[in-house]
Amino acid sequence: MTGYTGFSGNTSEQSGHYLALKFDAVDGVTVSVELVGGTVGHPVELDSDMNMVLRITNPETQKIKVIATDGTTTDSKTYSLTRLVLAA
């Protein structure tokens, strides 16, 4: 994709491969997502729409880490992107 300004105001991040994810909302649970190996380097807490757009530059080295907490218990899961095929 080129010229995608919804991801970033930084022009160098407005082209490339983007992965949009929708998470299920669970009452009382806060969900954060981090693109491990991405440019931000920290988890981003999802807002009420529970949507996340990630810019994928290298599925061989990047992973998606999902962190869910209810205030007392925190659970996380990391997902590999190694089989993700990026279209030319």
Domains of the chain by range and CATH? 11-80 (2.60.40)
Q: Is the pLDDT of residue 81 over 90?
A: yes
> 17, exposed or middle or buried, with CB in 10 Å at 0-12, 13-18, 19+?
middle
pLDDT tens digits, one per residue of 17-61: 999 999 999 999 999 999 998 776 789 999 999 999 999 999 999
d(CA 82, CA 60): 5
The pTM (predicted TM-score) of the whole model is: 0.83
pLDDT tens digits, one per residue of 49-76: 999 999 999 999 999 999 999 999 999 9
Integer-rounded Cα radius of gyration of the chain: 14
